[in-house]
Amino acid sequence: ELERLSNLVGKPSENHPLHNSGLLSLDPVQDKTPLYSQLLQAYKWSNKLQYHTSLASGLLNQQSLKRSANQMGVSAKRRPKAQPTTLVLPPHYIDDVINRIDRMFPEMSIHLSRPNGTSAMLLVTLGKVLKVIVVMRSLFIDRTIVKGFHENVYTEDGKLDIWSKSNYQVFQKVTDHATTALLHYQLPQMPDVVVRSFMTWLRSYMKLFQAPCQRCGKFLQDGLPPTWRDFRTLEAFHDTCRQ
């Protein structure tokens, strides 16, 4: 008799369009456990996800095809040429470029050192206003930190401190702007021009505390002097006045 009953129970489940999960909807305790509705939602969600991924993969495939095609064509020719000239430069050439810049600006003194291998580190002292630590990779500037003229730029063991920031808000702001300038002055074919234009821009901070803002005409805004220098005209602006 048990066999007869079990046959009766087994048959309707096979006919159901959602197969075994469809039985969940027949469960009388559905009001208490929202299992069935959750199941339906999960099903819809995974359906949508599949649809979107197929669209996205279609789009990405188009793009990646183009880019890889570009790389194929260009990298083979340009890479071996461009990289050796800009990334691997002899140290005496770098010394030479830095020396020339040092002589160009009398109010700026540049001290070059190589504490860790071939990468040069510059300590730039601008008048009696500020000091800048410049970390170079070949002739590319990797990182700059601006500090006050009387702030300590060395760690306890006498090395240049390239990690800690200035104690003063003004110089923290100028550090941010200097980092922006690094990204702005880019010319991979002529790295010495980049360093020179960066230093020219940096030199405009000589009058950090003396120049009023070119837009609002005031010295202070939120307690800070005009910390921004325009990349082309080198005019002084407050951070919020420059737009």
Partner 1 sequence: MGVTCVSQMPVAEGKSVQQTVEILTRKLELLGAEKQGTFCVDCETYHTAASTMGSQGQAAKLMYVMHNSEYPLSCFALFENGPCLIADANFDILMVKLKGFFQNAKGNKIESRGTRYQYCDFLVKVGTVTMGPSARGISVEVEYCPCVVATDCWNLVMEFMQSFMGSHAPGIPSVFSNKHDSIYSPADTIVQYMELFNKIRKQQQVPVAGIR
Binding site for partner 1 (CB under 8 A): 128-129, 148-150, 168-171, 209-210, 212, 218-220, 222-225
User: Which residue type sits at 104?
Assistant: M
- Smallest distance, partner 1 to C-beta of residue 84, A: 43
C-beta closer to partner 1: residue 162 or 224: 224
Kindly tell me which of 53 and 164 has the beta carbon lying closer to partner 1: 164
The helix (run of H) or strand (run of E) holding residue 90 is none
| Tokens, residue 194 | 């980049």
C-alpha to C-alpha distance for 209 and 52, rounded to whole angstroms: 56
- Please tell me the distance from the alpha carbon of residue 226 to that of residue 218, in angstroms, as a whole number: 8
State the minimum distance, in angstroms, from the CB of residue 187 to partner 1: 32
Q: Rounded to an integer, what distance in angstroms lies between the CA atom of residue 108 and that of residue 205?
A: 11
As given in the structure block, the two tokens for residue 46 are 């995974």
**Measured from the CB of residue 154, what is the shortest distance to partner 1 in angstroms?**
18
Q: 150 or 232: whose CB is closer to partner 1?
A: 150
CA distances from 52 to 25, 49, 59, 63 (A): 29, 5, 11, 17
* R_g over Cα of the chain: 33
Q: Which residues contact 203 (CB under 8 A, 6 or more apart)?
A: 105, 107, 108, 126
In whole angstroms, the minimum distance from the beta carbon of 171 to partner 1 comes to 6
* Residue 234 to residues 129, 177, 192, Cα–Cα distance (Å): 17, 13, 20
Tokens at 149, concatenated: 């003229």
CB of 238 to partner 1, least distance (A): 12
Tell the smallest beta-carbon distance from residue 151 to partner 1 (Å): 9
User: Nearer to partner 1 by C-beta: 80 or 217?
Assistant: 217
Look at phi and psi of residue 125 and say left if phi exceeds 0, alpha if psi is from -120 to 50, else beta: beta
Whichever of 22 and 148 has its CB closer to partner 1, that residue is 148
Closest CB to partner 1 among residues 10, 223: 223
Whether the Cβ atoms of residue 131 and residue 124 lie closer than 8 Å to each other: yes
Q: How far is the CB of 170 from partner 1 (least distance, A)?
A: 5
| Closest CB to partner 1 among residues 131, 196 | 131
